Amino acid sequence: MSPLLLCFQASLHPSMNNYTSVKEFILLGLPHTEGLENMIFVLLLAFYLLALLGNLLIFATILASSSLHTPMYFFLGNLSVFDIFFPSVNSPKMMASLAGRSRTISYQGCASQVFFYHTLGGTECFLYTVMAYDRFVAICHPMRYTVIMNHRVCTSLTVCTWLGGCVHGSVLAFLIFRLPYCGPNEVDSFFCDIPVVLSLACADTFLAQMMSFTNIGVVALVCFLLILTSYTRIVLSILKIRSSEGRRRAFSTCSAHLTSILLFYGPVILVYLRPASSPWLDSVVQVLNSIVTPSLNPLIYSLRNKDVKVALRKVLFQVTHLSGL
């Protein structure tokens, strides 16, 4: 058999090459942080604990307060659950690396990070869209709000957001990990994500790169356009309100949600939808998106929402009273 034919067959069957399949990856961590590991570890641990405790408190408050058993707070409770899961995808491994533990992650662990990161990212995108629709119905159709946003509709929308996120994450994980990885195995980040993992593949990544970024771009763009449409209608309806107090109250119900949307879409655009890539900027933005933003959401919704503040005080008072007994 001719050497050319052997080379052609080897290119079709990677197992015929003199490469071994990668069984683990090495996470290089945050770039340009040498000597700052202890300080960064303390900061990330503080934000991580704040995210877990803050969102758990918001979720418990919504469950315990009958006054918050409305569609708006039903979706906020789902956001709190999301903000508990999302920083847990990569924060523990990153903090373990900063504390001097092993930087290696198994092939399956790397694939799991990609899957859960984008499953939860897609879920958040869909959830913010549903929350915008909820505010649209509440402000533009207040007399029909309880009829339109009934319990069955809210449950169905929530299930669809989580299932949609799962499908989104599954498609992306399949696109990335159907490719062969035969070395090198150093991931230029603190966790496994599409851009850094694709650069290690031993095959042409153009199709996978285009399809994955198109997937992310389409999901983010469609959700953003739906949110923009909802808030355009909301603003037009609010401007028709004659009393300044009524306009202020209507805007205040949307301000926390808008703030969270800005914090969510900013990192998505900077990391996935810009042409040039900067490992340092990508890492910083993803740290903010993964840990800092979930820790800020409880503050945003509790400080900007009177009902949540009142219910939160009652829950904290009850907990303090019971602990005193």
pLDDT given for residue 313 in this prediction: 78
Are 126 and 160 in contact by the 8 Å Cβ rule? The answer is yes
Confidence at residue 155, expressed as pLDDT on a 0 to 100 scale: 94
Q: What mean pLDDT is reported for the chain?
A: 82
- Identify the sign of the CA torsion 255, 262, 299, 77: positive
pTM of the entire structure? 0.84
Instruction: Give the three-class secondary structure for 26.
Output: strand
Phi, psi of 295 (to 5 degrees): -80, -20
> Both tokens of residue 308?
């949540």
Q: Phi first, then psi: what are they for 27, rounded to 5°?
A: -85, 115
125-164 pLDDT per residue, tens: 999 999 999 999 988 898 999 999 999 999 999 999 999 9
Q: What is the tens place of the pLDDT at every residue in 304-320?
A: 677 777 777 777 777 67
Q: Can you give the pLDDT at residue 274?
A: 58
User: d(Cα 63, Cα 74) in Å, to the nearest integer?
Assistant: 9
β-strand pairing of 186-187 with 24-27: parallel
Is 11 a residue whose pLDDT tops 70?
no
In this predicted structure, what is the pLDDT of residue 15?
39
